[in-house]
Amino acid sequence: MSTTPEPPTRSDFIREIVATDRAAGKHEGRVVTRFPPEPNGYLHIGHAKSICLNFGIANENSGGICHLRMDDTNPTTEDPEYVQAIQDDVRWLGFDWQDKMFFASDYFERLYDYAVGLIQKGLAYVDSLTADDMRKYRGTLTEPGQASPFRTRSVEENLDLFRRMRAGEFPDGTHVLRAKIDMASPNINLRDPVLYRIRHVAHYRTGTAWCIYPAYDFAHPLSDAMEGITHSICTLEFEDHRPLYDWVVEHCGTAQRPQQIEFARLNVTFTVMSKRKLLDLVERKLVNGWDDPRLPTLKGLRRRGFTPEALRAFCEAIGVAKRDAVVEMQLLEHFVREDLNKRAPRVMAVLRPLRLVIENYPEGQVEQLEAVNNPEDPSAGTRQVPFSRTLYIDQEDFREDPPKQFFRLSPGREVRLRYAYIITCVGVVKDPATGEVTELRCTYDPETKSGGAQAQRKVKATIHWVSAAHAIDAEIRLYESLMLMDPGKIPADQDWTQHLNPHSLERLPTCKVEPSLAAIAPGTRVQFERVGYFCADPDSSPDKLVFNRTVTLKDTWAKIEKAQTPR
């Protein structure tokens, strides 16, 4: 059973089916679901929806169980690395399968026996057509298929050939085992589908014990039946496979009869949700591995700073539907903001440093100012932040010639420094060669500190800062959407990778952060005040911290400035 706290009561068409079945005593009132990934890649946000659904339904029903099963029937693509990563991701998301972890490869002998049983019943045969001829004989969506000339082989000949296939007598592609169903069926999946193929490839768990491997559409329903799954929940692309699922279970005569139910898969804008395409990105080094924070993999989202609580809330909010739809990435970001707003401590960081000197502040003096760790959580307490004569502020908080509605620092204007004093800009230092502003000269009003006589004096803007003498160097990585266009909208004859966003990652190597972050652990999430939510990256070292931007804060000024920019 899942160990995640029981969620609030919710309803959707799948839960209604489960409730109706349970009330009618179907499956003796049992509820057994499963999450059955193929260990041929890393899990992504789409899998999170399935994980939350399957484990959630088990958790919501007393005595319910959700299995974790590796559907590892394809030795050419599977790897123990993926098996471990899948387990890590499911646990990170907040679920536990207890002792209910299974592998389809554990069932190879039983699956073989089921196949032999179909041959003996005259419901399966060994076909020796080439792959090209098999496609031709299969027919089209508008034309029925044709029977293979090998379809009439005797039971004895089929049994002999199938046993010799297992014994390794034939090279790859020589023969396949096919179900004998209906070559004229309007459902192409029922036109004598392949049940077994010859593959002289070692399996990561069974080694060279097998050289024939079951097809997914054969192994999957039987694995469900052998495990006593009651509700086999899968995505809509398997809807046309359901008649084959039921045919296999019925004609193999299993004791249990699972029910397949399909729901709409999760599609998110401006990212890639295909394992094949994700693998392509990784292998071509277009991203920095499976945990690249630009990817929708759970490893990537975790490294970027997304929380399992936010992902679960997102999956609950989008619900379960019968029709495919595309969800805006902004919705996922909304749930991340909502969650991190409650839990992330606030700190100050300057992404694009601009030196600022307070001329009337005593040289060598350092004050420790009290800063609130999280205004949403009083129990988080406060911290001490050093303040000195020389500071860094962000370049974006200064304009020498400010546009309308820009209320931050500019010559002759005053602003409040967060947790500190009101300052006034009295001078600007520029690089004589480039004209670039390199330093601001300011004065401060000592009476405007908290507790001072002028502490309540109003100014139009408050900006963040760090003390130059105490700041820690950091690299900050800013992430944007992976794609410039939704992959589903890219014409089939175009290379989809040409639509990757060239600005999906911006590295800022000279950032400054407050000293309270000196010992921050990788994976720790914080809010950089006025900037966004960030996560300490494993690339951090004692000499330089590295942070990944999880998500921005809502930026009213950016909208104003964009609206004012001439087009």
- Residues noted as catalytic: 38, 265, 275
Characterize the bridge pairing of strands 346-347 and 525-528.
parallel
The pair of three-digit structure tokens given for residue 411, joined into one six-digit string? 């010559």
Distance of CA 372 to the CA centre of its chain: 32
Name 305's Cβ contacts closer than 8 Å, sequence gap at least 6: 293, 336, 340, 525, 533, 534, 535, 548, 549, 550, 551
**Rounded distance between C-alpha atoms, residue 58 and residue 482, angstroms:** 34
**Rounded distance between C-alpha atoms, residue 208 and residue 202, angstroms:** 5
Task: For 276-408, list the strands marked E by DSSP.
Answer: 325-327, 346-347, 349-350, 353-358, 367-372, 382-387, 390-394
Write the burial class of residue 534 (CB in 10 Å: 0-12 exposed, 13-18 middle, 19+ buried): buried
**Rounded distance between C-alpha atoms, residue 111 and residue 215, angstroms:** 10
**Rounded distance between C-alpha atoms, residue 469 and residue 389, angstroms:** 9
**HSE-up of 474 (CA within 13 Å, CB side)?**
34
CA distances in angstroms from 410 to 86, 424, 439, 536, listed in the order given: 52, 8, 12, 33
Distance separating the N- and C-terminal Cα atoms of the chain: 57
Q: Please spell the DSSP secondary structure of 82-130, one letter per residue.
A: HHHHHHHHHHHHT---TT-EEEGGGGHHHHHHHHHHHHHTTSEEEE---
173 closest CA partner among 140, 220, 132: 132
